[in-house]
């Protein structure tokens, strides 16, 4: 695995880093910080204490993380945080990366009282950004098929990683990501932020169910069927690739496809692996299944069902007549009643279940009140994040298992320790996909 990782691009890592650093030399100018900030005056964090970050993928979600926007829960974005220094941005679209880079530099120029500020550099190729030794961490919000490989390469380059979901398009890539993060001793945060955000009501339900507040848990309704990923075919008519777009790098290890005017050329073969991870991550949190998975999978009412070793069954569909759970949540049914939650709603039957005080057997959960803040704090302390690589991988695995059983349309047995289907070669072939040389995962 180590040898493969070092020669992923067909050249040695040393040669790649040497060449990338040489090419990027003109962009590595040190930030010009006014003396007040250098001393930590006026509430500014001294430069040596700021976490130096690079951002890869600058579209809606990535741009929101960088500069502030919907679903990112960081007012003003990372650039507005006093404990972060944005050093570099990267996107395959020239206009996008140059515009974002300019906004970062303008923000810092105003913040530090300088007429000009050019410490943030813009890159087309993420490998040049990863080659910079002055970057501590990266945030990855690029197209789905790049998440795992890019995060593995970042870990190998010594960077801590925040990755948007889904964290990997296949179970094999997800496991490889976990091993890379562990091998290189990196901090990793998966972008399923409901464990931290939304005034803690997800945590409240998790503690309620785990503490026996609805009696013995029997069933869970996840509201989503999971999903599988596949390369598309027969898209629109091929078009000339725009001069400001690196189409080959966009595709990366994916099969070759002609450009058709759509710079997001991928599809979900079954279901949805983009939104579903929020639901399944929360389900796993409540089930205390962040290091395991189901043992049986089948279709019921045209949706996947998952049985866990303890007997609980998770259904990839809504609970009949219960609207709460549709926005990233779930419904939990126990012997004393049920409780359902999502980003907008919280309900219980009977309603008095929500007034249950903490009991002596309750186990307090990991507490985080900001997903971005938790990531940054763990970079400093080197502690595990609330959604570390193993946690994110196990929830993502549940999503992908739902897609596989929906494709095969027959019951499957799953070994969560070996992460293989039991005596089923056809199903096991769906755990990975072929890659386009010279990329390897």
CA–CA gap between residue 178 and residue 388 (Å, rounded) = 9
Per-residue pLDDT in tens (0 to 9) along the chain, 441 residues: 333 333 343 334 444 444 444 433 333 333 333 334 443 434 567 777 899 999 999 988 999 999 998 777 888 999 999 999 999 999 999 999 999 999 999 999 998 887 777 889 999 999 999 999 999 999 999 988 999 999 999 999 999 999 999 999 999 999 999 999 999 999 999 999 999 999 889 999 999 999 999 999 999 999 999 998 776 555 678 889 999 999 999 989 988 888 887 755 555 567 888 899 999 999 999 999 999 999 999 999 999 999 999 999 999 999 999 999 999 999 999 999 999 999 999 999 999 999 877 666 677 899 999 999 999 999 999 999 999 999 999 999 999 999 999 999 999 999 999 999 999 999 999 999 888 889 887
Domain ranges of the chain: 2-142, 198-227+273-431
Query: Could you say which of 3.30.360.10, 3.30.70.260, 3.40.190.80, 3.20.20.220 is the CATH number of the domain covering 198-227+273-431?
Result: 3.30.360.10
CATH topology of 2-142 equal to that of 198-227+273-431? no
- Domain 2-142: give its CATH architecture: 3-Layer(aba) Sandwich (3.40)
- Kindly state the tokens that stand for 147: 């998440």
């Amino acid at each position: 695995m180590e040898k493969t990782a070092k020669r992923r691009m067909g050249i040695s890592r040393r040669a790649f880093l040497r060449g990338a650093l040489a090419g990027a030399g003109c962009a590595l100018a040190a930030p010009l910080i006014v003396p007040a900030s250098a001393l930590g005056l006026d509430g500014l964090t001294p430069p040596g204490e700021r976490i130096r970050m690079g951002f890869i993928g600058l579209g809606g979600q990535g741009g929101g993380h960088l500069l502030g926007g919907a679903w990112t829960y960081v007012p003003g974005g990372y650039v507005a945080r006093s404990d972060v220094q944005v050093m570099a941005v990267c996107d395959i679209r020239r206009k996008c990366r140059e515009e974002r880079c300019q906004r970062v530099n303008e923000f810092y120029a105003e913040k530090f009282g300088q007429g000009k500020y050019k410490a943030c550099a813009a890159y087309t190729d993420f490998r040049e950004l990863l080659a910079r030794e002055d970057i501590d961490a990266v945030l990855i919000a690029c197209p789905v098929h790049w998440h795992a490989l890019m995060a593995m390469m970042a870990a190998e380059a010594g960077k801590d990683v925040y990755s948007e979901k889904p964290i990997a398009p296949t179970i094999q890539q997800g496991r490889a990501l976990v091993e890379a993060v562990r091998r290189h001793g990196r901090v990793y945060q998966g972008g399923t932020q409901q464990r931290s955000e939304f005034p803690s009501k997800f945590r409240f339900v998790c503690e309620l169910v785990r503490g026996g507040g609805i009696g013995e848990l029997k069933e869970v309704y996840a509201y989503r069927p999971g999903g599988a990923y596949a390369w598309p075919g027969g898209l629109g008519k091929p078009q000339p690739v725009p001069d400001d777009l690196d189409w080959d790098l966009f595709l990366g290890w994916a099969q070759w496809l002609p450009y058709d005017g759509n710079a997001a050329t991928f599809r979900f073969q079954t279901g949805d692996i983009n939104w579903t991870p929020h639901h399944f991550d929360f389900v796993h949190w409540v089930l205390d299944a962040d290091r395991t998975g189901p043992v049986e999978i089948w279709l019921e009412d045209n949706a996947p069902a998952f049985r866990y070793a303890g007997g609980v069954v998770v259904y990839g569909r809504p609970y009949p007549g219960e609207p709460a759970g549709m926005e990233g949540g779930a419904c939990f049914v126990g012997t004393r009643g049920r409780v359902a939650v999502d980003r907008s709603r919280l309900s219980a039957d009977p309603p008095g279940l929500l007034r249950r005080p903490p009991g002596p057997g309750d186990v307090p959960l990991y507490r985080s009140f900001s997903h971005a803040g938790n990531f940054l704090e763990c970079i400093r302390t080197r502690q595990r994040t609330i959604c570390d690589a193993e946690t994110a991988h196990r929830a993502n695995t549940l999503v992908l298992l739902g897609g596989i059983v929906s494709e095969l349309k027959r019951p499957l047995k799953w070994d969560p320790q070996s992460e293989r289907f039991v005596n089923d070669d056809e199903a096991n072939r769906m755990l990975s996909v072929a890659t386009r040389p010279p990329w390897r995962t």
